[in-house]
C-alpha cells in the first residue's frame, strides 16, 4: 500500500477555506513561525478519503472483528454512548470552568454527571465514596495503594509490605512498589489463593492485600471470607482490582464482601472503547474509614441543589490527575449504566459467564485446560500438548489472525505454561462463538498434521511474522 506522499502529484489541490486576514505572527513568537511552507503531499480530497479509509481497514477493531482477549473485556461499544459523549453542551466546556468564580454555574450539568456516576458506582460495588479522577486501571491501582498508605500513616501503623497473589493482575506489584511498599507474592493452590500460604506471610508489617476477584484464571476466590478475616486481623486493608467486574455485576458487591478499596475500569466493564493506550478511566471507591483520604477536588451538592468542587480535605492524598479525569469516558459509562439499569447489568454478568463456559466446554477436548471447572467470565487454556510438536501458544494466536479473529491473551498469567487466556464477553452471539471455536479447532488439527504451516502464520495480514527478538533489540529509529 502506498503512503499518502506517494499519492502526491504536483499541482493537485483540495478545496480549502479562504485564508484569514491575520498572520501567524499575531499568534506565535516570530522564532516559531516557519520560513518555508511545510512539505505536505499534493492530493485531492477523494485521494485523502480513500487512502485513510483503506488504511483503517487494515486494522483490527471491535466493530469489525471478534476480540477474545482475556482479562481485557473487549466488548462491543454501543454507538448511542458516543452520541452522549459528543453532545455540544459537554464537548465545548472549558476544563477550568468549574473552578472559576461564578463560572461554575455553566458547568452544573457536568458536575452533576460526576456526582451521580459516583453514586451509581457506590451502589454497584457497595462502597461509600468514589473518585473518578484516575485515568487508567493501573492509575486507579496506584491511587488505591496510596490511599491505603495514607490510612496507615494517619494511624501510625508501621506497615511496610503489601501482599499480591500470583493470580492477580500484572500491574498490581508495580502499583504497590510505587506506593512505597515491599511486595510479597503468595502462591496459588488449585488456581486460587491458599489461606495457609497467606498465614505464613501475615504479620503486623502487612498493610493489606491486592486481589483480583475473580482472578486472572477466571476463577472466583472461594476462600474469600477467611482471607478477609485474616487480613483485617492485623489491621490490614483489602484492595479489589475491579478489572474483572464484568463477571459479578449485579451478583456481588465487593464492599459487602469485606473489601475496603475498589478500583474499576470504566473502559472495560461499562462499554467504553479501550485499547491502544487510551482513553481510560480507573475510578476508586472506598469505605467510610478511607473516605477522608480520597484525592481532591471532590464534587459536592449543596442544600440548594447546586454542585461545586470542594478542596478542604486535610487528610487527602492530594492531586492525582489534571482536572477531573477523562470526562468523555465517564459520560459513556454514565449513559451505559442508565440505559441498562439494574436488570441489564445483571444480564451482563450472566451472559459473560455463560459465554466463557460455553467456549471452555467446546474446547476442552482440543486444548489442555489446567483448571477445568465452571469459570467466571474468562478461562485459561494451555497449548502444552501442541508445543510437543513445536507449535506454541504464540503460533496459534498468529494463525487466528489469518482466520479473521483477534488473538487471545498469550503467556499471561505466568503460572500457566503456554497459556491462551480467553474472554468472549457478553456481547458476542453464539454464532460468532461457534465460528471462532470451529476456526480454532481447525488450527489445532493442522498443528498436528502440518505444524510448520501454523508456525509461518500469519500469511494474510499486512505484516507477516516478525522476528520478535530482533524487533525488540535491533530497532531502527526513523529520521
Query: Domain with 370 in it: what CATH number?
Result: 3.90.1150.10
pLDDT over 60 at 479, yes or no: no
Whole-number pLDDT of residue 175: 95
Domain assignment present for 75: no
pLDDT at 133: 96
Distances (CA, A) of 187 to 70, 192, 194: 21, 8, 7
Same domain, yes or no: 351 and 335: no
Alpha carbons 224 and 258: distance in angstroms, whole number:
9
278 vs 2, more confident: 2
pLDDT category, 359, cuts 50, 70, 90?
Answer: very high
Judged against a pLDDT cut of 80, whether residue 384 lies above it is answered with yes
Q: Is the pLDDT of residue 349 over 50?
A: yes
- Residue 461 exposure: Cα atoms within 13 Å on the Cβ side: 18
Task: State residue 477's pLDDT score.
Answer: 65
Please state, as a whole number, how many other Cβ atoms lie within 10 Å of the Cβ of residue 52: 11
Contact 382, 370 (CB under 8 A): yes
pLDDT of residue 276: 58
Domain closes at, from 318, 339, 360: 339
CB neighbourhood size of 383 (10 A): 23
Question: Where are the alpha helices (H) located in 364-391, listed in sequence order?
Answer: 384-387
C-alpha cell at 62: 471491535
Query: Does an H or E element contain 409, and which?
Result: strand 409-410
Backbone torsions φ then ψ of 198, nearest 5 degrees: -65, -40
Q: What is the pLDDT of residue 277?
A: 58
* Cross-strand partners of 409: 421
Residue 209 confidence (pLDDT) above 60: yes
User: Which position has the higher pLDDT, 119 or 471?
Assistant: 119
Residue positions counted in the chain:
479
14 occurs within a structural domain = no
Residue-wise pLDDT tens digits, 324-341:
889 999 999 999 999 999
State the CATH number of the domain containing residue 244.
3.40.640.10
Q: Where are the alpha helices (DSSP H) in 291-429?
A: 327-363, 384-387, 393-402
Evaluated on CA atoms 463, 468, 470, 474, the torsion sign reads positive
Same domain, 157 and 299: yes
Summarised one tens digit per residue, pLDDT across range 2-46 is 999 999 998 887 766 667 778 877 888 888 888 888 888 999 889
- Same domain (yes/no): 296, 328: yes
State the residue range of the domain holding 422.
Answer: 347-471
Domain count, the chain: 3
pLDDT digits (tens, 9 = 90+) for 124-171: 999 999 999 999 999 999 999 999 999 999 999 999 999 999 999 889
| Domain-located, residue 101 | yes
The helix (H) or strand (E) run that includes residue 174 is helix 172-178
Nearest to 243 by CA among 193, 175, 182: 175
Strand duo 409-410 + 419-422: pairing: antiparallel
Average pLDDT over residues 250-279: 88
Q: Among the residues of 8-125, which ranges form H helices?
A: 45-56, 79-85, 88-91, 108-125
Amino acid at each position: 500500500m502506498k503512503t499518502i506522499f506517494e499519492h502526491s502529484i504536483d499541482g493537485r489541490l483540495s478545496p480549502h477555506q479562504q485564508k484569514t486576514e491575520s498572520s501567524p505572527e499575531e499568534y506565535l513568537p516570530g522564532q516559531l513561525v516557519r520560513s518555508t511552507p511545510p512539505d505536505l503531499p499534493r492530493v485531492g480530497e477523494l485521494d485523502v478519503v480513500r487512502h485513510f479509509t483503506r488504511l483503517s481497514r487494515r486494522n483490527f477493531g471491535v466493530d469489525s472483528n471478534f476480540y477474545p482477549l482475556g482479562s481485557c473485556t473487549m466488548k462491543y461499544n454501543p454507538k448511542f454512548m458516543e452520541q452522549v459523549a459528543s453532545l455540544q453542551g459537554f464537548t465545548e466546556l472549558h476544563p477550568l470552568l468549574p473552578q472559576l468564580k461564578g463560572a461554575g454555574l455553566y458547568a452544573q450539568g457536568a458536575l452533576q454527571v460526576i456526582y451521580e456516576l459516583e453514586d451509581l458506582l457506590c451502589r454497584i460495588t457497595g462502597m461509600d465514596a468514589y473518585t473518578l479522577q484516575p485515568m487508567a486501571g493501573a492509575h486507579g491501582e496506584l491511587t488505591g495503594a496510596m490511599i491505603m498508605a495514607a490510612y496507615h500513616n494517619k494511624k501510625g501503623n508501621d506497615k511496610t509490605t503489601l501482599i499480591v497473589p500470583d493470580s492477580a493482575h500484572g500491574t498490581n506489584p508495580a502499583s504497590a512498589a510505587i506506593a512505597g511498599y515491599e511486595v510479597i507474592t503468595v502462591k496459588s493452590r488449585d488456581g486460587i489463593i491458599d489461606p495457609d500460604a497467606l498465614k505464613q506471610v501475615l504479620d503486623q508489617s502487612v498493610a493489606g492485600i491486592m486481589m483480583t476477584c475473580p482472578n486472572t484464571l477466571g476463577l472466583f476466590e472461594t476462600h474469600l471470607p477467611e482471607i478477609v478475616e485474616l487480613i483485617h486481623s492485623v489491621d490490614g486493608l483489602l484492595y479489589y482490582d475491579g478489572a474483572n467486574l464484568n463477571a459479578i455485576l449485579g451478583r456481588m458487591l465487593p464492599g459487602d464482601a469485606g473489601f475496603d478499596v475498589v478500583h474499576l475500569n470504566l473502559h472495560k466493564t461499562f462499554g467504553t472503547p479501550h485499547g491502544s493506550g487510551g482513553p481510560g478511566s480507573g475510578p476508586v471507591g472506598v469505605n467510610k474509614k478511607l473516605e477522608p483520604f480520597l484525592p481532591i477536588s471532590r464534587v459536592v451538592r449543596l442544600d440548594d441543589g447546586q454542585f461545586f468542587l470542594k478542596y478542604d480535605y486535610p487528610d487527602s492524598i492530594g492531586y492525582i490527575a489534571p482536572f477531573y479525569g477523562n470526562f468523555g469516558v465517564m459520560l459513556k459509562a454514565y449513559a451505559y449504566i442508565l440505559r441498562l439499569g439494574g436488570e441489564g447489568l445483571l444480564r451482563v454478568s450472566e451472559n459473560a459467564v455463560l459465554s466463557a463456559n460455553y467456549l471452555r466446554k467446546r474446547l476442552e477436548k482440543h486444548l489442555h485446560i489446567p483448571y477445568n471447572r465452571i469459570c467466571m467470565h474468562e478461562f485459561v487454556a494451555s497449548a502444552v500438548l501442541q508445543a510437543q510438536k513445536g507449535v506454541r501458544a504464540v503460533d496459534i494466536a498468529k494463525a487466528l489472525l489469518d482466520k479473521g479473529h483477534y488473538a487471545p491473551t498469550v503467556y499471561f498469567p505466568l503460572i500457566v505454561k503456554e497459556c491462551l487466556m480467553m474472554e468472549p464477553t457478553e456481547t458476542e452471539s453464539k454464532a460468532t462463538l461457534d465460528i471462532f471455536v470451529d476456526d480454532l479447532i481447525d488450527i489445532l488439527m493442522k498443528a498436528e498434521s502440518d505444524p510448520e504451516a501454523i508456525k509461518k502464520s500469519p500469511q494474510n495480514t499486512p505484516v507477516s511474522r516478525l522476528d520478535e527478538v530482533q524487533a525488540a533489540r535491533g530497532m531502527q529509529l526513523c529520521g
